[in-house]
Amino acid sequence: MAQGTVKWFNDSKGFGFIVSDSGEDVFVHFSTIQGDGYKTLREGQVVEYESQQGPKG
């Protein structure tokens, strides 16, 4: 599992970006956030994630 830091996340639009430890920007959508309650991320939060190719890349 990869690790990175939340670059920004827009609660009203439901998406944002994570900067991977290798420096790449990784798109994140609220529907992929695991956990109970409101699905959001905070800028600067360290996260673990699994990336996958979507229809747009």
- Residue 33 pLDDT: 87
Instruction: Please indicate, yes or no, if residue 29 is contained in any of the structural domains.
Output: yes
- Residue 9 pLDDT: 96
Instruction: Please indicate, yes or no, if residue 22 is contained in any of the structural domains.
Output: yes
**What pLDDT digit, counting tens, does each position of 1-57 carry?**
899 999 999 999 999 999 999 999 999 998 888 877 778 999 999 999 988 887 776
Domain count, the chain: 1
Question: Whole-angstrom Cα distance, residue 44 to residue 56?
Answer: 26
Instruction: Give the residue numbers spanning the domain of 22.
Output: 1-34+44-57
Burial class, 48, CB count within 10 angstroms (exposed 0-12 / middle 13-18 / buried 19+): exposed
- The CATH number that applies at residue 6 is 2.40.50.140
- Residue 56 pLDDT: 76
Instruction: Please indicate, yes or no, if residue 39 is contained in any of the structural domains.
Output: no
